[in-house]
Amino acid sequence: MSLLDKFAAQRALRAGLAESGRVAPIATPMDRIESATAATIDGRGVILAGTNNYLGLTYDATCRAAAIEAIEALGTGTTGSRMASGNYAGHRALEQALATAFGWPACIVFSTGYQANLGALSALAGEGDFLLIDADSHASIHDGCRLSQATTIRFRHNDPENLDRRLARLGEDARRTLVVVESLYSTLGDRAPLREITEVARRHGAWLLVDEAHSFGVFGPRGLGLCEEQGLLDEVDFVVGTFSKSLGSIGGFCLGRHAETELLRMASRPYIFTASPAPPVIAATHQALRRVLEGQDLRARLWRHAERLYAEVARLGYRLGTTSPGPVAAVVFDTRAAALALWQGLLDAGIYTNLMIPPATPAGLCLVRISLSAAHSDDDISKIIAALAAHKQQVEALGAAA
């Protein structure tokens, strides 16, 4: 067997996509982006309803101005790690602003959200320690576990009782265990039972890290996430988040309720061995953070859209990944053909969404993920609902046939 033979499955997938002659449902080529919610695909204008641009801040005038100003003043990149020449005042100010918002003593900024999980998990849990992770965790959490020298154990998705049993089996070692959960799971849009999980972790003396990638900016009075909304900021030990969703840029962070979290910087390889975020990214993110903290107007609009879409999709008879409305609406199917038909139908109607299929999905589900933005207009939401209604019968027939 030769080096590249292992890509047979990918080769077949690529050939199949090319053969269809249609716009590919994965890595869909975007011709041109027009705004936070509009783009051109295959020469046609579409509504973007498959990004993570929950607050629409990628095109916020003040964020763009901050990025441009930073390029003019500081250049396009840092060309150095935070541990070397890339430790600018802007990086430190953003960390300080995030820590202050949470009322916590430590925050570390990473160059991507993926690296935030990689960097936090691999540094926090070392040899002899344990990582107890939700079974449906994002790839960045799984990869962070692989990079750490700790022992990784999965517990059943959103099941505090199952977590409890695994912590009980660890006995004394629970005290050197880091429990890792996401607050909002982006595939099905379901939320973790954070209060119960926090209680279980505390009872066993374990540590808790919550990934707020898809909930930061969306939940809580100041948009700090689901922990803030549920009043758990005094209970959780670490919060990881990303800049590439509600904050509209790229990067990630790890916040700690304990001052020692600051020491992770000295030990985290994904933090040390990469260049620090570019000045325009940091400037735009910092401005976006200000907008999030005072962004009740944006959140109110996003939630109005979410509640309307969830109600209408349920009324149409589609199955959703969860019944609690949120910024992610996953329309779930048993067959790939039905999911693909809806994805294609929506695109033909001028709406871009995400097609998700196994093994990237839990429980072998196939789904079309619609993600909403505060930047969507009421008319955009009406068009999405109308397209869903128009394709219901055709999609249902495919679902039943397979």
Partner 1 sequence: MSGAPSSAAADALAASIEATIREALGLIRPSAVGIAGDADLAQAADLDSAEVMDLVMEIEDHLDLSIPVETVAQARTIDELCAGILKLKRGTP
Q: Tell me how crowded residue 261 is: count the other CB atoms within 10 A of its CB.
A: 22
Region 121-150 residues binding partner 1, contact defined as CB under 8 A:
135, 142, 145
Q: Is 169 in the site for partner 1 (CB under 8 A)?
A: yes
What's the min distance (Å) between Cβ of 126 and partner 1? 14
Q: Which is nearer to partner 1, 134 or 228 (CB)?
A: 134
Number of other residues whose CB lies within 10 A of the CB of residue 297: 11
Q: 128, 175, 358, 402: which one contacts partner 1 (CB under 8 A)?
A: 358
How many residues at the interface with partner 1, by CB under 8 A? 20
Minimum distance of partner 1 from residue 189's CB (angstroms): 18
CB 346 within 8 A of CB 41: no
Q: Does 153 bind partner 1 (CB under 8 A)?
A: yes
Give yes or no for a contact between 239 and 79, defined as CB atoms under 8 angstroms apart.
Answer: no
Query: At its nearest, how many Å lie between partner 1 and the CB of residue 381?
Result: 32
| CB 151, min distance to partner 1, A | 5
DSSP-assigned beta bridge partners for residue 184? 191
Kindly identify the residues of this chain, within the stretch 299-338, that bind partner 1 according to CB under 8 A: none
CB of 170 to partner 1, least distance (A): 7
Helix (H, G, I), strand (E, B) or coil at 400: helix
- The DSSP result for 164-189, as a single string, is HHHHHHHGGGGGGEEEEEESB-TTT-
CB of 156 to partner 1, least distance (A): 6
User: Of 81, 87, 151, 335, which one interacts with partner 1 (CB under 8 A)?
Assistant: 151
Told to check if 68 binds partner 1 by CB under 8 A, we report: no
Q: What is the DSSP letter of 397?
A: H
Specify burial of residue 41 (Cβ count, 10 A radius: 0-12, 13-18, 19+): middle
What's the token pair of residue 303? 């939630």
Would you say 138 or 376 has its CB closer to partner 1? Answer: 138
Dihedral sign computed on CA atoms, order 22, 25, 28, 32:
positive
> In sequence order, which residues have a C-beta less than 8 Å from that of residue 346 and are 6 or more positions away?
49, 352, 353, 368, 384, 387, 388, 391
> Is residue 206 involved in binding partner 1 (CB under 8 A)?
no
Angle at 366 between CA 8 and CA 159, to 5 degrees: 110
Q: Pick the stretch among 48-56, 161-169, 310-318, 335-343 that binds partner 1 (CB under 8 A).
A: 161-169
Alpha helices in 171-277 (DSSP H): 194-203, 226-229, 269-272
> Which of these segments, 242-250, 259-267, 361-369, 383-391, binds partner 1 (CB under 8 A)?
361-369
Q: Which stretch binds partner 1 (CB under 8 A): 208-216, 218-226, 235-243, 353-361?
A: 353-361
| 362 lines the binding site for partner 1 (CB under 8 A) | yes
Of 97, 170, 250, 263, the residue at the interface with partner 1 (CB under 8 A) is 170
Q: 141 or 264: whose CB is closer to partner 1?
A: 141
Containing H/E element for 130? strand 130-134
> Distance between CA atoms of 304 and 306, rounded to whole angstroms?
5
Smallest gap from residue 380 Cβ to partner 1 (A): 33
Q: How far apart are CA 376 and CA 112, in angstroms?
A: 26
Minimum distance from residue 152 beta carbon to partner 1 (Å): 4
Give whichever of 166 and 214 is closer to partner 1, judged by the CB atom.
166
* Distance from chain centroid for Cα 274: 21
The minimum distance between CB 131 and partner 1, in angstroms, equals 9
Phi and psi torsions of 193, nearest 5°:
-75, 75
Which of helix, strand or coil describes residue 243?
coil
Residues that bind partner 1 (CB under 8 A): 135, 142, 145, 151-156, 162, 165-166, 169-170, 358-359, 361-364
